Structure 1
C-alpha cells in the first residue's frame, strides 16, 4: 500500500469518525480530530522532503493550464480546497475550547467541508464516467442517468441506514 493510499484511508476514516461521533462521544471525536491533524502534518512533512519529481510533492496548481494528457486543474484546485478546509476545521477544533473557535469549527465541519468532500467524490467519479460516455447515444445516456439516479438513491438510503444503526453504538447507548 502506498503512502498516498494510507494517507487517504487514515484521513477519510478519521473525518468520518469525527462526523459520526460529534458531541455525542466527545473523547472519540477529539481523538479522531487529533488523527486528522497528525495525518495532515505527516502529509505536509512528506511533501517538503521528497524530490521535486515525486508524486508526493505538493505544488500550487496552474490556474487554467492543462498539460497534455494530464489532469484538469479543477482536480488540483479541489484538492487544495479540500485539504485547506480540512486543516482549518481540524485546527479550529483544536482551538475550540481554549480560544472559542467552536462556532467556526462547527460551521466548517458541518457546512463547508461536506460540500468539498462530495465535490471531490463527484470529480473522482466523473472522470472515468466521461471517458466511457464519449461514444454513447442520447437514448443510452438517458438510460444511464436513470440507472445512476436509482443507484444513487439506493446508496444514499443504505448510507443513512448505516449511520442510523451506528449512532447508538457511538453514543454508548448500546
Structure 2
C-alpha cells in the first residue's frame, strides 16, 4: 500500500483537502478543531479508481510544529504538496519543499487549492508560474499542478487521477 503525505504552508488547506478527498477529518484532537489548526499528524485513507488503497498522512504546516511534519513525511511514497491559489508560495511552502527534497521523496502532485477564492485568471496564471519556478531543481520539478477547490469539488477528480498516475510509477517504500 502506498502512503501519501501532505506538505505546505499553514492554512493553505491541507486538512480540508484531505477531508474533501476521503470524507475523513484528519484533525482528530479537540485542540486542533478548536484552533482550526493541525498540531499533530492526522491519518486518512482513500481507494483510487484502480482499486488501490492509499494511506494519507496529514502534517501540520505551522512552523512551531515542524518536528511533527518531519515525523510524518519520513516514510511516505509521494507528496501531496498544497499551495493556496489566493496566497501563492509562502515561507513554509519553501521550507516543506526543502524537506521533501532533502528526504528525496520520489514523487508527488501539487494541489493549487482555494481556486474558488481567485476571481482573476491572470493572478491564477501568475501563481502557477511562480509555483513552477519554485519547483525547478527539486524532487517535485515535474509534478503536475492541479487547481482544486475542496469547498466546491472543482478539480478533485483530476487530482485523484494525477495521484494514481504518480503512484503507478512509484514503488512503495519497504
Fold equivalence (TM over 0.5): no
Higher Rg of the two aligned structures = 1
Normalised by the length of structure 1, the TM-score is 0.28
Higher relative contact order (CA 8 A, sep 6+): 2
Bigger strand fraction: 2
Q: Give the alignment's TM-score, normalised by structure 2.
A: 0.28
Q: Indicate the structure with greater helix content.
A: 1
